[in-house]
């Protein structure tokens, strides 16, 4: 979806908003269990849209709030 977004960047952005180290997020963790809420989710959507993921919609991320899914969705690469 966006060449500006790498799997590492996605992990770092999520960790930044959750206030943890990127290494603390497992690919299959439910990010809601780690503190992701709708406000943080919308912050990520807007950040990533600004960086080239123009077609990204909130439900794309909300229906499967797992890092591996998001990385695949945004980069086209299997996490």
Report the alpha-carbon distance of residue 57 to residue 26 in Å, rounded.
23
pLDDT at position 76 is 84
Where along the chain do its domains lie? 7-75
Each residue of 4-48: pLDDT tens digit? 799 999 999 999 999 999 999 999 999 999 999 999 999 999 999
How many Cβ atoms are within 10 Å of 32's Cβ, its own excluded? 14
pLDDT at position 77 is 78
pLDDT at position 49 is 94
The Cα-based distances of 21 to 12, 26, 50, 63 in angstroms read: 8, 11, 24, 24
Q: Judge whether residue 68 has pLDDT over 80.
A: yes
Segment 59-71 mean pLDDT: 95
Per DSSP (E only), the strands in the chain are: none
Q: Given this structure, which CATH class describes domain 7-75?
A: mainly alpha
Span between the terminal Cα atoms of the chain, in Å: 14
Q: Judge whether residue 3 has pLDDT over 60.
A: no
């Amino acid at each position: 979806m966006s060449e500006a977004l790498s799997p590492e960047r996605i992990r770092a952005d999520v960790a930044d908003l959750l206030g943890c180290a990127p290494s603390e997020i497992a690919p299959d963790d439910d990010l809601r269990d780690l503190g992701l809420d709708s406000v943080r989710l919308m912050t990520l959507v807007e950040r990533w849209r600004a960086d080239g993921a123009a077609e990204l919609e909130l439900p794309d991320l909300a229906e499967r709030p797992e890092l591996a899914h998001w990385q695949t969705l945004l980069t086209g690469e299997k996490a």
